[in-house]
Chains A and B, each alone.
Chain A
Amino acid sequence: MTDILIETLDLAKRFGAKVAVDRVNLQVQAGEIFGFLGPNGAGKTTTIKMIVGLLQPTSGAVRVAGHDVQTEPLAAKAASGFVPDEPNLYTKLSARELLRFVAELYDVEPGVVERRIEELLRLFDLTAAADDLIDSYSHGMRQKASLAAALVHDPRVLVLDEPTVGLDPKSARLIKDLLRQLAQRGAAVFLSTHILEIAERMCDRIGIINRGGLVAVGTMAELRAMGQGQASLEDIFLSLTGGAEDAAIAEVLQ
């Protein structure tokens, strides 16, 4: 029996008259890296925010680690870690203080907290700056601190919104390796990205959202089969979401 860790059931979100997410159904299993793609404004971040409990759906449901995010929020949240697209952190805390704060929010075993923090700081190359205020961190360092905060309680579900934006190649590689290892240890990784190469190489399955609706879900092979002979994910993505017209490009460059 497969262990489904993320499941959305007819998930929808409206902002007034605007439909941001329209009856999205998807599942992510334990040990799987799921890539979530879509053009700007397609509903990726809104979907992610509903999965992690930042937004309440207008209708439908989200289940994380078997718990409904709306009716059993504590259990669902305890099982998941989240990395937002913008690493907005408490700038007047140091990375060490931030990680300790998050560990206590997630009620991590007191005896484990300090060791876990040291491991994460070392892993993300933040040890030297661990006691500096986040105020003085670069975007990349904040992104890494944000990732460390998401991992401090060893979540079974990790949701990442554009995790590699602003990271140097070494850090981006580190994150890719880390996500792969987390999946191998049985975690479910839900990852949104605009970098199709990352999605193609890393993700076990990919979902493409356009104008709030899920237009395709499957493995690369399944997507290729749907793409009528198109080999690359870029071609499949553009054919499903509508790419830029040649004439429009020529007009801009003229």
Chain B
Amino acid sequence: MEYKDYYEILGLKKDAPQDEVKRAYRKLARKYHPDVSKESDAEVKFKEVGEAYEVLKDPEKREAYDQLGENWKAGQDGFQPPPDWEQNFDFGGGGYTQGNAEDYSSFFEDLFGGDRASSGRYHRSGGPSGGFQAKGENVRAKIMIDLEDSLNGTKQSVKMSIPEINEQGQVVSKHRTLSIKIPKGIKEGQTIRLSKQGNPGHGGGEPGDLLIEVAFNPHKLYNINEKDISLNVPVAPWEATLGAKIKVPTPDGKKMDMKIPPDSQQGRKLRLKGKGLPGKNAGDFYVVLQITLPPSSNPKVKEYNEKMRDEIDFNPRSYLF
């Protein structure tokens, strides 16, 4: 098994006093809580922090752990605790004081797991004969998708790590890859439900669901807000003033003719109804005009602008005074 440096995980020195351990844990727990943090590996970090605290908060476990640390050499992967190390410490039976056993790493398990075979908390009692039947827990995950995935309902593979129990009764984080079809028109913050892909049921109950929260990767052209998609489109000053017909790329990969009305100011939004994310209440597609100036290094541009300055009576700042 792999040695875990619980002090490093909590950002502590080896001689940190107990109240400092508590403070460090609370701070990191808030930081990495999967419902608070946006980092993709928040769940893993949060569990690591919890595991580290579970050991270091208890002076007895901490002492035992410290003794082990001295015997451990850096780079040594196949870490085994000395065979008799547990004798001096009294936590042979069931070392968990809070949380679920599944949340702890195999390293923790080997040190503090106690007698797993008889630990009722670990092996859920049950089986059809137990008379206790319940649906498995729902499992939650996060996924980043592209705008195109939601537009077209494409296939995506999702990698997840799920804590599982192997034959030796150890908790291992198993990597599971699922190939899923993204529901068409899903928007940021919504959840994909995969029926019966969660934790197994107890006593013959049906498995829970897998709930995957969706977020979008930033797109190089389009900006997405709820079900609406917007695109900034540069226009020349004369196009904005006189009106024009231009071509714009739509999210579905096509080109579309669009009429710019005369006297369109910077930032004017033109709406194409129903061309946003598809679905029951399809979103809209907005073209946002960005007036773009031709460079004054061009002599013609300079000439015409000077002419406008001299001949047109226009003060855009009149309302300021």
Pairing of A with B: no
Binding site for B on A (CB under 8 A): none
Binding site for A on B (CB under 8 A): none
